Amino acid sequence: MAMVVIRSEDRGRTQIDWLDSRHTFSFGEYYDPKRMGFGPLRVINEDRVAPGGGFPTHAHRDMEIISYVIEGELQHKDSMGNGSVIRPGDVQHMSAGTGVRHSEFNASDTEPVHFLQIWVLPERDGATPGYNQKTFSVPGKSGRLRLVVSGDGRDGSIAINRDVDIYATILEPGEPVEHRVADGRARWVQVVRGSVTANGERLDAGDGAGTISEEDICIEAVEKAEVLLFDMRVSV
């Protein structure tokens, strides 16, 4: 399968007084039947929330929801009794399962918050809701692929209800990382910031690219970059 590339400027957009959100895949009022996700990866939203703004309490079910903060602080509260502030380096996971209600607000009255919200379809519906949050240091992600999310929680990663591995890396200009995958698995590269090449394809901040092939993937920084790499089993 050839690499599918979605450029930052081609993403959907929701813009209101307190929110500027870019949608890699169909979400809310943005609908493109050709962009309904990639494998079990259903949503990648890049959200910028103004000081004092946020998402009031709302419901989810049967979805694995991951938040990755880039800048600022995100305040989370949910019906399971969890309350936390998520900062850069933190990865938060909420398994909506049979149903959960939560809110997300900018924790600052003066500074914006910039984060990625990622939705992954669960292995099966009707799971017990759950919550987890971990911090992954900059040194731990520098020059290497650091596993931050997985289906089995190995290597200190956050366990989710799907065979999906998510790696984070921070690369200096000219620095490469390589990843091998098993046959028939899907890969998606999402550039958080900076610029890279992925198997020779130039990708800039906000760009994403996916493929299903036996080919290893090599990511090399053109300028200092932060990248997420998804390695996913396509079917259950």
| Domain ranges (residues) in the chain | 10-135, 138-233
Same fold for the pair 10-135 and 138-233? yes
Residues in the chain, total? 236
Mean pLDDT of 168-192: 94
CATH number given to 10-135:
2.60.120.10
- Of 44, 221, 232, 230, nearest to 142 by C-alpha is 221
CATH 3.40.640.10 fits 138-233, yes or no: no
| Structure confidence by residue, pLDDT tens digits, 123-164 | 999 999 999 999 999 999 999 999 999 999 999 999 999 999
CB 70 within 8 A of CB 22: no
Q: Distance from first CA to last CA of the chain, Å, rounded?
A: 20
Binned at pLDDT 50, 70 and 90, residue 1 comes out as low
> What's CA 3's distance to the chain center, in Å?
19
- How far is 190 from 68, CA to CA, in rounded Å? 12
Burial 197-218 (b: 16+ CB within 10 A, else e): ebbeeebbbbbbbbbbbeeebe
Q: Where are the alpha helices (DSSP H) in 74-149?
A: 138-141
